[in-house]
């Protein structure tokens, strides 16, 4: 990992902002509309930022957007970097290290995920309580102590305080919030039925192709993390269904409004 590159990106972003963000939000597939809720937006294209990777997937724009949500300074990533796009783990998690150098304390990560819990429905929101990493670990390689320790604990990766806040806000907004473990695989192929069943047996409730590397790096850097998955398809071995990326985006859009409302309410209390 190249500290100089990360700090050059952070310095560039700082030079574009008139105040300091305390929260970063990573917008997953189809959740880009949250960005339009940001007041006084300052839009920084990934292309402008030194050393920042570029996003290539449909449904993912490539902007950092700074501004206020409920008077809280936020920095939003409209579009993330996936391992399956061919980026290295260092590139996938580059933004989180930049956030750490910007002094950001809270990271809110969102994604679209496949449900393996039989009680889940398409369009449900799942509060991530924990994860199973079935991807390469992004901390492999020389450790830079300026970010964090060699063997960071993942015992409380998803902040209990933030989870309580999410549950509380969901109740107030009358949004049903599922809870469960998110398992990350590399993708880009969707899982076989045998894999969905295995992941369920391992204790996962939802499966996706992102988020976990970002969370590991954010926790390594000492950030408090909240994760939300929008359930875009549900695996059921009794139904012969095929997952498509279009279906994923369509089903996420059903949940966009409530997800945006929930994230805004959580940010209001940070």
Q: Any idea which residues carry the catalytic annotation?
A: 29, 60, 82, 84-85, 112, 209-210, 233, 245
Question: What does residue 251 show for φ and ψ, rounded to 5 degrees?
Answer: -70, -30
- Closest separation between CB of residue 233 and ligand HPA, Å? 5
Within 139-168, the residues that bind ligand HPA by CB under 6 A are none
Site size toward ligand HPA, by CB under 6 A: 13
Q: Verify binding: residue 251, ligand HPA, rule CB under 6 A.
A: no
Asked if 236 interacts with ligand HPA (CB under 6 A), we say no
243 binds ligand HPA (CB under 6 A): yes
Closest approach of ligand HPA to the CB of residue 234, in Å:
9
228 forms part of the interface with ligand HPA (CB under 6 A): no
| Residue 235 beta carbon to ligand HPA: minimum distance, rounded to whole angstroms | 7
Shortest distance (Å) from residue 213 CB to ligand HPA:
14
Decide if residue 190 touches ligand HPA (CB under 6 A). Answer: yes
Burial of 17 (0-12, 13-18, 19+ CB in 10 A): middle
Task: Say whether residue 208 binds ligand HPA (CB under 6 A).
Answer: yes
CB 191 within 8 A of CB 235: yes
C-alpha 108/C-alpha 228 separation (Å) is 8
Contact criterion met (CB below 8 Å) for 111 and 29: yes
Residue nearest to ligand HPA (CB): 114
Contact region for ligand HPA (CB under 6 A) — 39-47, 79-87, 174-182, 206-214?
206-214
30: contact with ligand HPA by CB under 6 A: no
Q: Which residue, 46 or 199, has its beta carbon nearer to ligand HPA?
A: 199
Give contact residues for ligand HPA (rule: CB under 6 A).
112-114, 187, 190-191, 207-209, 232-233, 243, 248
């Amino acid at each position: 990992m190249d500290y100089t590159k990360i700090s050059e990106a952070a310095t560039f972003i700082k030079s574009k902002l008139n105040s300091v963000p305390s929260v970063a939000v990573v917008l997953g597939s189809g959740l880009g509309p949250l960005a339009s809720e940001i007041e006084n937006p300052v839009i920084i294209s990934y292309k402008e930022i030194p050393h920042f990777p570029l996003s290539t997937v449909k449904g993912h724009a490539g902007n950092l957007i700074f501004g206020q949500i409920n008077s809280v300074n936020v920095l939003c990533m409209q579009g993330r970097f996936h391992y399956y796009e061919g980026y290295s783990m260092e590139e996938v998690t580059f933004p989180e290290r930049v956030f750490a150098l910007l002094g950001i304390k809270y990271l809110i990560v969102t994604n679209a995920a496949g449900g393996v819990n039989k009680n889940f429905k398409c369009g449900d929101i799942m509060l991530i309580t924990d994860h199973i990493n079935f991807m390469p670990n992004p901390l492999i390689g020389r450790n830079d102590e300026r970010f964090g320790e060699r063997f960071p604990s993942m015992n409380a990766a998803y902040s209990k305080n933030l989870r309580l806040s999410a549950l509380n806000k969901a109740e107030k907004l009358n949004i049903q919030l599922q809870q469960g473990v998110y398992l990350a695989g590399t993708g880009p192929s969707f899982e076989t039925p045998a894999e969905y069943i295995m992941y369920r047996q391992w204790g996962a409730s939802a499966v996706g192709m992102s988020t976990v590397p970002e969370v590991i790096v954010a926790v390594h850097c000492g950030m408090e993390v909240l994760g939300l998955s929008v359930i875009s398809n549900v695996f059921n071995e009794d139904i012969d269904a095929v997952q498509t990326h279009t279906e994923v985006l369509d089903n996420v859009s059903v949940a966009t409004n409530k997800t945006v409302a929930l994230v805004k309410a959580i940010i209001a209390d940070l």
